C-alpha cells in the first residue's frame, strides 16, 4: 500500500481458464463396442475363498482376479521382539497370467 488515506486495496481475481478437451471427438466406439464414456462391466464379490481370512473375486471385462488374505501368522522364533509392525507379502499367480513364461520368475 502506498499509505494514502481512504485508498482501497487492489485485488486480483483471475478468470477461470478454460481447458481444452483431452479428446476432441468423443463419439467414437471402442473395439469392444463400448462408447468413449462407457466403463467396462465390473463384477465384485467378497468371500470367494472359504479357507482365507479374507478374499475377493473381481471381473473387469475379460480380466478375472481372485485375491486371498491369510494371517496373521506367528513370527519366526529367531526374530527378536519389536514394537514395529512387519508385513510380509507373498504374491503368486499362474503361468498364463503373464505375457511371457519367464516374466513371473523372480
Q: Which one, of 93, 85, 86, lies nearest residue 68 by Cα? A: 93
Contact status, residue 58 vs residue 64, Cβ threshold 8 Å: yes
What confidence tens digit (pLDDT) does each residue in 21-76 have? 777 777 788 888 888 888 888 999 999 999 999 999 999 888 888 999 988 877 77
The pLDDT value recorded for residue 105 is 55
What confidence tens digit (pLDDT) does each residue in 70-93 have? 888 777 766 677 777 777 788 887
CA–CA distance, 56 with 60 (Å, rounded to integer): 13
Amino acid at each position: 500500500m502506498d499509505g494514502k488515506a481512504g485508498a482501497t486495496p487492489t485485488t486480483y481475481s483471475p478468470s477461470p481458464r478454460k481447458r481444452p478437451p483431452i479428446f476432441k471427438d468423443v463419439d467414437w466406439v471402442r473395439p469392444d463396442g463400448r462408447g468413449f464414456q462407457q466403463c467396462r462391466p465390473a463384477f465384485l464379490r467378497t468371500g470367494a475363498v472359504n479357507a482365507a481370512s479374507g478374499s475377493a473375486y473381481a471381473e473387469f471385462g475379460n480380466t478375472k482376479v481372485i485375491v486371498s488374505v491369510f494371517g496373521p501368522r506367528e513370527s519366526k522364533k529367531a526374530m527378536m521382539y519389536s514394537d514395529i509392525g512387519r508385513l510380509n507379502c507373498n504374491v503368486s499367480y499362474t503361468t498364463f497370467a503373464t505375457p511371457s513364461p519367464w516374466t513371473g520368475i523372480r
